[in-house]
Chain A
Amino acid sequence: MEKTDYKNVFVFAEQRDGVIQSVALELLGKAHELAGVLNEKVVAVLPGHNITKHAQMLIEYGADEVICIDEPELKDYLTEQYAQTICQVVNKFKPSILMIGATTIGRDLGPRLAARLTTGLTADCTRLEISEEGELMMTRPAFGGNLMATIMCTEHRPQMSTVRPGVMQKMTRDANRKGNVITFKPEFDKSKFLVRMVENVKVDKGKVDITDAKVLVSGGRGVGCKEGFEKLQALADVFPNAEVSSSRAMVDAGIIDHDRQVGQTGKTVRPDLYFALGISGAIQHLAGMEESDFIIAVNKDKFAPIFSVADLGIVCDLNKVVPLLTTRLAAEIEKK
């Protein structure tokens, strides 16, 4: 491998049922910044079926070039079909960096590709930077978020990383951005297509994605029960774009759906306002929410670690604070 042959920052543009996933746009935002430092191009790789129409949107979010691979075999994600495709794209276009969203798709595809390409892959990066030597520095949490490690892959290409949804920030969409759209035709070895999708079932959980909410009303052990969460929901209902979320304890107890879990084994969120109510603040939880713009913690225990990241801490019984706050806030918002 000749390192100098490898150029440009590639982003795997994940789509599901023809819908570009938000994480792909977030990665384009980051790729734009990295490519700026390297003076290279941002290239989105878009595999799927009947997806070429989405190329312009990827450009508007930061791609300079989009490689479309439009094949019926790629309609739904299957490991081997996608691995063959992306592997051929990498071998032909030789990116220096390849970023993939750390979704159930990306975390299945990434390692398969890395092994096929004999290169390094760093999972769930929370920070990506370019070193003075022009190498990618990939920082990720380890030991359940207790430790951060900066990892590099200096002798192999591409430098690959996955990034969880919600960690990087999208660029503002710019309808005037221009870019090239290239079509790539893969050569499939269909004898390797051994996994067949029998059914793809979407369970309508009737809930929005907590990573999209502007305000999160998050409850922990101190909330205690389903009725307690109903009070949190009432507080959330006061805001126009708020959701209820939770720490792991309440998910393990079966009180809250896993979808709403914030933290190392749940989701990473960065809302404008995060209420941490009755959450003690285990490091695994903090890892998922400490980037929130403004954090208000209410806890009876004044030594709770949550107060170390809170912008405003209230030592008080949340069962008294929440209903009163709900009424007063509703009145305040009504006034406007």
Chain B
Amino acid sequence: MNIVVCIKQVPNTNEIKINPETGTLIRDGVPSIMNPDDKGGLEMALRLKDQYGANVTVITMGPPQADAILREAFAMGADRAILLTDRKFAGADTLATSYALAGAIKTLDYDLIIAGRQAIDGDTAQVAPEMAEHLGLPQVSYTVDLKYNNGLCLVKKETEEGYQMLEVPTPCVLTVLAIANQPRYMSVKGIMEAFDKEVEIWTADKIDVDPNRLGLKGSPTRVKKSFTKPQKSPGQVYEVDAEEAVGIIISKLKEKFII
């Protein structure tokens, strides 16, 4: 079985802070990590490999430094790694990104394509379903568990009310939540070997695409402006004992007609 896992390098957004004076993002020193949902997807693929034997290819689109997460994937047990990197991909929105990924994956052998549900920097959850559409494959999103049997996936999908069990034949696209599993650590042997393995660098010429649909040119959406949220003016803060605090709270609630 051939499994392709789409991963992304993201800044650890939990560590991003705003400079209170300039109102801009402080990105210096914020570590880059493999996106958590994607790591869950990779772990799901590696478990299938452990169980049934599979060839796991990881692919990412990004700048050259995204090499780091591909090496991490090697160290976890991936067999092949592809880095899609080209200035022609720059400025891509989700549609152009998904189109480029689909163009690359089209040239590979695959039975199953796994991606994380969403990346913590953009939180859109759009790339994988858009990619599934470009590839003409069925999709199941919000996957928390997978049972594979002879070309048929039985997928547990998380919903607001509970879960669904969905049956889908391969080839198909699944998007996975980080809570689906506990990703394995990189093995020492894996780390040693990861640096000797080849990360394949693919440019736009190497994949099956119409160049007009890549990057900024191929993106229907444009960011018109970005800004940090205006701070609302804070209310009064009292440093008091509990007795006094309760008195203040109750009088405020009365004043606001909440009680």
Using a CB–CB distance below 8 Å, which chain A residues touch chain B? 16, 79-80, 83, 103-104, 107-108, 110-112, 114-116, 118-124, 137, 141-144, 146-156, 192, 194-203, 215, 264, 272-273, 282-284, 290, 294-296, 298, 302, 307-317, 320-321, 324-325, 328-329, 332-333, 336
Contact = CB atoms under 8 A, between A and B. Distances in A.
A142 B235 contact: no
Contact of B220 (A150, A153, A321): A153
16 contacts: A79-B138, A104-B142, A104-B160, A111-B98, A111-B128, A123-B122, A144-B13, A150-B223, A152-B224, A194-B172, A202-B161, A203-B161, A203-B163, A312-B248, A315-B237, A332-B254
B234 A121 contact: no
Secondary structure call for the A interface: mixed
Secondary structure call for the B interface: mixed
Interface centre among B223, B228, B235, B248 (most CB of A within 10 A): B235
Given A150-B225, A151-B224, A202-B162, A194 B169 contact: yes
Interface centre among A111, A114, A317 (most CB of B within 10 A): A111
Contacts of B231: 308
A144 B14 contact: yes
B143 to A, nearest CB: 11
B189 interface: no
Contact of B138 (A115, A195, A329): A195
Nearest to A272: B258
A313 B236 contact: yes
B125 A123 contact: yes
Contacts of A272: 258
B129 interface: yes
B25 interface: yes
A102 B116 CA distance: 17
Given A115-B131, A123-B125, 18 more contacts: A79-B140, A104-B142, A104-B159, A112-B139, A114-B94, A120-B219, A123-B122, A137-B224, A148-B226, A201-B162, A202-B161, A272-B258, A273-B253, A296-B249, A314-B237, A314-B238, A315-B239, A316-B240
B235 A313 contact: yes
A332 B250 CA distance: 9
B130 interface: yes
B164 to A, nearest CB: 5
Contacts of A215: 258
A277 to B, nearest CB: 11
Contacts of A273: 253, 258
A311 B229 CA distance: 17
A111 B164 contact: no
A295 B223 CA distance: 32
B238 to A, nearest CB: 6
Given A108-B142, A156-B220, A202-B161, A121 B126 contact: yes
A66 B240 CA distance: 56
Contacts of B221: 120-122, 151-153
B86 interface: no
B106 interface: no
A313 B237 contact: yes
Contacts of A198: 154, 164-167
Contact of A195 (B123, B129, B166, B241): B166
Nearest to A126: B229
Interface in B88-121: 93-95, 98, 120-121
B13 A143 contact: yes
A199 B165 contact: yes
A316 B125 CA distance: 40
B16 A146 contact: yes
A321 B121 contact: no
B227 interface: yes
A164 to B, nearest CB: 10
Contacts of A120: 93, 95, 219-221
Given A103-B160, A144-B16, A148-B229, A324 B224 contact: no
